[in-house]
Amino acid sequence: MQEFDVTDLIRLLWKRKSFILKTTLICLCLGVLVVLLSHKQYTSVSTFIPQKPRTNSDQRALDAYLQKENPNIYETNEILNANLYPQVVENISFRKKIIYMPVCEGHNGEKISLVEYLSSNKYRPFHLGQWIRKYTIDLPATIRMANGEDTVNENTGKDTSLITLSRREKQAIDMLQKGVTLWIGEDNALLNVTTEDPLITARLAQNILSLLKEEVTNYRATKIEEQWAFLKQQQEIAIQELESKRKEMTNLQTTQHSFPTQNIDITKSFLLAEYQQIFNNYQNLNQRLERLKLKKQDTTPVFTMLEEIYVPYQASNTKQGIIITAFVALGLFLGMVLVITLPYIAEITRSKFLMHHFPVKEDQEKDVK
């Protein structure tokens, strides 16, 4: 095989310009098809600072004592660790609440939930790719939903201890699985929400943060109530123990003449030490109960927003113009590569089809020296 120089290469490409043009047009059509079948995606990013627990040395000492008394009931921290926020958001119960929160309004002003929005074409913009998928790959599910067969398993619906999902709910929760991410850092947290509609994206992000705040606040209130009940119980026990020690010391005073003085002094010192220890714990319990009273009245938000939720009017995925330009460039490049290589492939493989359309000898003799 002989080598090309630049002039011969340009001459060959010009001679086969119709083939290059056809290849480019085919890639252009593929690019347009990809654009038509792909969804526009809109992403809303929200940044917030989770509340952190605060402890002091006295509280830690009392916590250690109470933890030893009843480790299964008492927990030292009533604030949910921010590292657990992603697990809360990914919880199936949390997501089931989210999909029934309103994300838009209907034509008559009625509130439309996410599950209603995704399961009906009345509220979603028409999309060719989605329409094709609905009546091809998803046709069986479409028929079942049209016939009212929406439950995953009717037998499990009687058991209230199990969480059941209809197909519509499963569709909505799958969308949350793909479009919602929560990242927790050392000092702040980042919520990313992506959907096909900018307003739905902002409303969904708002719903997630609102419900997360409610869940964390409820967790805090529940833990405070549990601690309050436990501390009150420990306080009653301490009062009974103090009363018991007082009676023991009173009895010791009335009967001390019946025992040697040395034994009386040792017993009295022992009782006083026990009484003082119980009294110190009693005082610490009172202090902790006072702190819990203040915590009950505390209105500090469970997290503080750094970047508020906004409506993302600019699509976050690749723009249509870039996709089409990339396919056109691919078509030009592919056409030129094929024009150069196919004659030699035809010669090697002896393919009649390729040799007819790309006669290497003719190209070499007329265009290549």
What confidence tens digit (pLDDT) does each residue in 254-300 have? 766 655 566 667 777 888 888 888 889 889 988 888 888 887 777 67
Query: Do residues 84 and 147 share a domain?
Result: yes
Question: What's the full length of the chain, in residues?
Answer: 369
Mean pLDDT of 163-171: 85
pLDDT over 80 at 245, yes or no: yes
Give me the sheet containing 189-195, strands edge to edge: 180-184, 189-195, 42-50, 303-307
Q: State the Cα–Cα distance between residues 355 and 363, nearest whole angstrom.
A: 11
230, 66 Cβ separation under 8 angstroms: yes
Query: Do residues 96 and 188 share a domain?
Result: yes
Query: Do residues 10 and 129 share a domain?
Result: no
Phi, psi of 105 (to 5 degrees): -120, 145
Query: Exposed, middle or buried: residue 11 (CB in 10 Å: 0-12, 13-18, 19+)?
Result: middle
Domain contains 153: yes
Find where tokens 């654009």 sit.
35
Domain contains 276: no
Query: Do residues 79 and 181 share a domain?
Result: yes
pLDDT over 50 at 156, yes or no: no
Domain contains 201: yes
pLDDT digits (tens, 9 = 90+) for 90-141: 999 999 999 999 998 877 888 999 998 888 777 666 555 555 655 565 556 5
> What band does 75 get if pLDDT is binned at 50, 70 and 90?
very low
> What band does 70 get if pLDDT is binned at 50, 70 and 90?
very low
Domain contains 279: no
* End-to-end Cα distance, the chain: 10
pLDDT value of position 365: 43
pLDDT value of position 72: 42
Q: State the Cα–Cα distance between residues 190 and 217, nearest whole angstrom.
A: 19
pLDDT value of position 142: 55
Query: Do residues 17 and 99 share a domain?
Result: no
Of 226, 248, 272, which marks where a domain is finished? Answer: 226
Most confident of 42-51, 59-68, 256-265: 42-51
State if pTM tops 0.85.
no
Of 207, 226, 245, which marks where a domain is finished? Answer: 226
pLDDT value of position 20: 87
Domain contains 59: yes
Q: State the Cα–Cα distance between residues 313 and 43, nearest whole angstrom.
A: 9
Query: Do residues 31 and 118 share a domain?
Result: no
pLDDT over 80 at 235, yes or no: yes
Domain contains 104: yes
Residues paired with residue 105 on neighbouring β-strands, in sequence order: 111
Q: State the Cα–Cα distance between residues 41 and 129, nearest whole angstrom.
A: 14
Most confident of 151-155, 160-164, 198-202, 215-219: 198-202
Q: How far is CA 361 from the centre of its chain?
A: 63
Query: Do residues 32 and 104 share a domain?
Result: no
Query: Do residues 68 and 30 share a domain?
Result: no
Of 199, 226, 253, which marks where a domain is finished? Answer: 226
Domain contains 253: no
Give percent above pLDDT 90 in the chain: 19
Domain contains 288: no
- How many domains, the chain? 2
Mean pLDDT score of the chain: 77
Query: Do residues 89 and 29 share a domain?
Result: no
Query: Do residues 207 and 81 share a domain?
Result: yes
Range of the domain at 185: 42-226
Query: Do residues 198 and 324 share a domain?
Result: no
pLDDT value of position 203: 94
Dig out the tokens for 240 from the structure.
């009974």
Query: Do residues 222 and 139 share a domain?
Result: yes
Give the burial string for 244-283 (b: 16+ CB within 10 Å, else e).
Answer: ebeebeeeeeeeeeeeeeeebeeeeeebeebbeebeebbe
